[in-house]
Amino acid sequence: MKILVVEDDQNSAAILLQLLAESHYAIDSVTNAETAWQYIETYAYDLIVLDVMLPDSSGIELCGKLRNAGYTIPVILLTAKDSANDRVMGLEAGADDYVIKPYNFEELIARIRALLRRYSDRNTLPKELIWENLHLDFGTNRVTHNGQLLYLTQKEYRLLELFLRHPQQIFSRSSLLDRAWSAGEFPSEEAVTTQIKGLRQKLKAAGISQDPIETLYGLGYRLRTPPVAESQAIANLEDNLKENKPKENNSQMPEVRVKEIMALVRKKLQASLVDTIDMLQQLAIALQEGRLDPDLRQEGFIEAHRLIGSLGTLGFPAGSAIARQIEQMLTIEFPLVATDSGKLMRLIGDLQINTSDAAKGNQNQTEVKSESKSSSNLKLPQLLIVDDDKKFVLEIKLEAENLGIVVQSAYDLATARLQIANSAPDLILLDILFPDRPENRSKNGLTLLNELADRQPQIPTVMMTASGGLSDRVVSARDGICAFIEKPISAVDVVHTITKILNQKFGDRHKVMVVDDDPHMLTALQILLGQWDLEVMILQDPQEFWQVLETFSPDLLVLDLIMPKYSGIDLCRAVRTSSLWFDLPIMFLSSQSDRETIREIFAAGADDYLSKPIVEEDLQIRIISRLERKKV
C-alpha cells in the first residue's frame, strides 16, 4: 500500500517514514500543501497522513479540497491543537481520524493500520491474500508459506502484495515503478527485474515449486493462476526432462495466454455492459417522456460508438451491428422524436440479449475459428539448447522461462536437426563437445554450426565449450556465431548473454502508438498488434497525447475518430503542424464510413483509414504495408 505523508516537521517525518517503511508501506513525503496536491493528482494513494499546520496552507483546507474534488482517500490529521473545536473542524472537513501532537509513534502506526483495515473492509478487500499455501497477512505484515516465515525486502513485499491484490492484472515495469517505489526514487526499469528475481528466488527457496509470477514477454508481469489440475502434468514434464524422455512441445503456450487475455477483456466488457445498457434504457425513457437533453443524448452516442468497435473486435459481430443502429439514431443529425423510443428500446433489448447469449458461448462456429486463428500467433522468443548436460540444460531452462523465453532442448545433434527443421528457433545455444562420436568429439557442435551457416534465413547461435581454444573460436567466428561462452559458467550468466542477444533481435521492432478512449478496443488492438512483432503503446486519454508521442516516438500512429476533449482529427492536425512529426504515418479507425467523414479525415492529413469493427487480416496488411513504406 502507498501512503503520502504531508509534514513540515522533518524530524517527526523522518521517524514516521522509517516506521512505515519497516511495515512494508511505500511512502512519499512532502512538506507543503501545494506539492501534496500535485502528488495526489499524479499518484494513487491508499492513505494520507496530513499535518494541520503547513507553511503554505492549512491541512484542514487541503482535506476539504480533497473531499470537494471527489477523493475518498482516508486521511489522518496531525496537529498540536487539542481543542474540541479544532477536532470538529478537521472531522467536518472530511478527515477520518485526528491525532494530537506530541503523539506516540506506535499508536500512530496502529491507527494507520486500523484505518487501512476499515477502508479495506469498506471496499471488500481481504485481510489476507493467499496463493496456494503462500499467505500475506495485513494484520501482521507477514508472508508465510506452509507456516514458514519469509523474510522479504520492502520492495519485494510491495511487489508481492500488488500481484496478490490484482491476480489478473498485467503490470509493466514502469507501472510497477509507479506503484512500489516512492516518488523521490529514480530507479531504472532494471530495478524491477532485479527485485522480481530476488522475490522469485526467495519463494523458490521456501519450497514453492511453481513460480507464482508469470512473465509476459513485451507486456510485463502478472500473478500466475495457481496450479490445480495442471500441477501433475508440470511435474511429469520436469521428470521427463530429467530422464531424457521426449519433451512436450511448448508452442501452444502463447495461444493459451492470448485466450486468457482475450477472455479477461470480454469478461470486463460484459461487466461494463450492464451500466451501459442501463444508461441507454434511461435515455430511451427520457425520450419517451419528452425530457431527453442534449448531454444525455451525446453520452449515449459516444457509448454506442465505442461498442461498435469493442463488440466487433472481441467476437460479437451481431452486437456491433445493433450498436451501430443505436449510434445512428442518436446522432445529432437524426430527427429523434418521442415515438422513436419504442424502436430504441427494442434495439437496446436486442443488444442485451445478443451479448448475454454470446458470452455464454453461443457464438457460431465461424466466430470460434476466427478467435482461434487470431489467438495463435502471439510471438514469444524461442530458444533451442543443444547440450548433453541434462542438469545444466534444466537450470538454464528454468532461468530463461522466468523471463518469458520458450525453451526447447536437444541432447544430441540428430534431435537438434529435426527440431530446427520443424520449427526454427530465434536463438540456438550450442555446445561443441558431444559424447556420441568419440573419434571426432571436438567437431560435433562445429559440424552443426557449419550447417547452420549455410541456412537461410540464418539463426543466431551462441557457442559453449569447456575448452576455449583459439581454433574453435576462429572456426565459430567464421561461421557467424553471436557469442562464445566458456564453461564452467552459471545458468544465470548464460541467460544474461541470451537475453542481450534476444533484445538486439527483438529490439528493432517497429513502434505503433494507438489512441482510443475505449479500453476494450485498446486491449484488443494491443494483443492483435503484438502478434506481428510490433512494439505497441496504447493511450486512452487524448489529453496526454503529446507527452506520450514525444516519449514513445512511434513509427506509426493509429487514431480513433471520436474521443472526448480532442477528436482524432484534432490530434492529426496538431501532428501535421509539427516539423518533427509531419511525415509520421497516421491511420484512422472509425465506425463512421460516410463519404464526408472520410474526406475530412484525409483532409486533416491522414494516410489511411480502416472501418470498425476491425478485420484482423485487413489491419495487418494496412499496418505492415505502411511501416514497410516508411522504412523505404
The pLDDT of 182-192, averaged and rounded, is 68
pLDDT of 479 reads 65
Least-confidence region, from 120-124, 182-186, 288-292, 317-321:
120-124
Residue 241 lies inside a defined structural domain of this protein: no
Which of 460, 491, 506 terminates a domain? The answer is 506
Residue 64 Cα distances to 61, 71, 88, angstroms: 5, 10, 13
Could you tell me if 97 and 20 lie in one domain? Answer: yes
Cell of 603: 483532409
Cell numbers representing residue 462 in the block: 551462441
Q: Among 579, 533, 528, which Cα is nearest to 558's?
A: 528
Secondary structure of residue 582 in the 3-state scheme: coil
Give how far Cα 116 sits from Cα of 46, 136, 139, 245, 304, Å.
Answer: 8, 15, 10, 52, 39
More confident residue, 431 or 93: 431
Amino acid at 454: D
- Which of 57-61, 118-122, 274-278, 551-555 has the least mean pLDDT? 118-122
Residues 346 and 267 placed together within one structural domain of the fold: yes
175 lies in a domain?
yes
Strand bridging mode 148-150 / 220-223: unpaired
Same domain, 99 and 56: yes
Overall average pLDDT of the 606-617 stretch:
83
Which CATH number characterizes residue 443's domain?
A: 3.40.50.2300
**What is the model's pLDDT at position 81?**
58
482/544 same-domain check:
no
Last residue of a domain, one of 226, 249, 282: 226
Tell me the per-residue pLDDT of 239-256, one tens digit each, with 9 for 90 and over. Answer: 544 444 333 333 333 444
The pLDDT confidence band at residue 586, using thresholds 50, 70 and 90, is very high
Is the pLDDT at 377 greater than 60, yes or no? no
With 0.95 as the threshold, say if the pTM is over it.
no
Answer with the residue of higher pLDDT: 366 or 178: 178
The residue with cell 419528452 is: 290
Torsion of CA 64, 66, 68, 70, to 10 degrees: -150
Total structural domains in the chain? Answer: 5
How far is the C-alpha of 99 from the C-alpha of 77, rounded, in Å? 6
Sequence-ordered strand ranges (E) for 246-367: none
pLDDT at 232 over 60: no
Q: Is the pLDDT reported for residue 229 higher than 70?
A: no
Instruction: Pick 534 or 281 by higher pLDDT.
Output: 281
pLDDT tens per residue across span 386-398 = 888 888 888 888 8
Phi-psi region of 565 (alpha: psi -120 to 50; beta: other; left: phi over 0): left
DSSP-derived 3-state class of residue 509:
coil
Say if 22 falls within a structural domain.
Answer: yes
161 touches 129 (CB < 8 A): yes
Question: Could you identify the residue written with the cell 508452442?
Answer: 251
Q: Is the pLDDT at 68 greater than 60, yes or no?
A: yes
Is 90 found in the same domain as 144? Answer: no
**539 and 577 fall within a common domain:** yes
The mean pLDDT value for 527-532 works out to 78
**Residues 32, 335: Cα–Cα separation, whole Å:** 55
pLDDT at 320: 80
Mean pLDDT check: name the lowest of 79-83, 137-141, 297-301, 335-339: 79-83
- Among the candidates 307, 329, 360, a domain finishes at 360
Q: What is the identity of the amino acid at 508?
A: D
Per-residue confidence band for 236, with pLDDT thresholds at 50, 70 and 90: very low
Mean of per-residue pLDDT scores for the chain = 76
Q: Tell me whether residue 93 is in a domain.
A: yes
Residues 499 and 397 placed together within one structural domain of the fold: yes
- Amino acid residing at 632: V
Alpha carbons 546 and 166: distance in angstroms, whole number? 30
Q: What is the DSSP letter of 53?
A: B
Note whether residue 17 is domain-resident.
Answer: yes
3-state secondary structure at position 86: helix
- What does residue 30 show for φ and ψ, rounded to 5 degrees? -135, 165
Task: Count CB neighbours of 219 within 10 A.
Answer: 18
**Does position 309 have pLDDT exceeding 70, yes or no?**
no
CA distances from 26 to 158, 176, 192 (A): 7, 12, 15
| In-domain check, residue 247 | no
Look up residue 598 and give its three cell numbers: 472520410
Question: Which residue type, as a one-letter code, is found at position 53?
Answer: M
Q: What angle do CA 130, 136, 139 make, to 5 degrees?
A: 125
Task: Write b or e for each residue in 187-204: b if 16 or more Cβ atoms lie within 10 A of its Cβ, otherwise e.
Answer: eeeebbbebbeebbebbe
Could you check whether the bond before residue 102 is cis, i.e. omega within 30 degrees of 0? yes
User: Rounded to an integer, what distance in angstroms lies between the CA atom of residue 333 and that of residue 310?
Assistant: 24
- Please, are residues 129 and 136 in contact by the beta-carbon 8 Å criterion? yes
How far apart are the C-alpha atoms of 81 and 52, rounded to whole Å? Answer: 9
Strands 461-465 and 427-431: parallel
17-42 burial code (b ≥16 CB/10 A, e <16): bebbeebbbbbbbbbebebbbebbee
Q: Model confidence at 588, in pLDDT bands (50, 70, 90)? A: very high
pLDDT computed for residue 346 by the predictor: 86
For range 516-534, the mean pLDDT: 82
Residue 362 has pLDDT above 50, yes or no: no
How high is the pLDDT of residue 22?
A: 67
**Could you count the other beta carbons within 10 Å of the beta carbon of residue 480?**
13
Q: Is it the case that residue 558 has pLDDT exceeding 90?
A: yes
| Phi, psi dihedrals of residue 278, rounded to the nearest 5° | -60, -45
Q: Which of 12-16, 222-226, 374-378 has the weakest average pLDDT?
A: 374-378
Task: Return the CATH number at 266.
Answer: 1.20.120
Paired sense of beta strands 406-410 and 382-386, if any: parallel
Of 356-365, 367-376, 433-442, the range with the lowest mean pLDDT is: 367-376
Inside any domain, residue 371:
no
Backbone angles phi, psi at 573, to 5 degrees: -65, -40
Model confidence at 575: pLDDT above 60: yes
HEC sequence for 122-188: HCCCCCEEEECCEEEECCCCEEEECCEEECCCHHHHHHHHHHHHCCCCCECHHHHHHHHCCCCCCCC
Do 92 and 141 reside in the same domain of the chain? no
Strands 213-216, 220-223: pairing kind? antiparallel
- Is 582 domain-assigned? yes
Element (H, E) at 568: helix 568-576
**Terminal Cα distance for the chain, rounded:** 49
Give the cell for residue 337.
422524436
User: Are 503 and 407 within 8 A, CB to CB?
Assistant: no
In this structure, the answer to whether residues 203 and 114 fall within a common structural domain is no
d(CA 450, CA 20): 60
pLDDT greater than 80 at residue 126 = no
* In contact, 315 and 367? CB cutoff 8 Å: yes
Does one domain contain both 106 and 183?
Answer: no
Residue 565 is part of which domain span? Answer: 511-631
Q: Are 386 and 484 found together in one domain? A: yes
H helices present in 331-466, as ranges: 341-359, 365-375, 390-402, 413-422, 444-453
What does the pLDDT average to over 413-429? 84
In what helix (H) or strand (E) does residue 30 lie, and over which residues does it extend? strand 26-30
Are 321 and 399 found together in one domain? no
Q: How far apart are CA 153 and CA 80, in angstroms?
A: 34
pLDDT bracket for residue 437 (50, 70, 90): very low
8 A C-beta contact, residue 590 and residue 575: no
Q: What is the pLDDT of residue 514?
A: 93
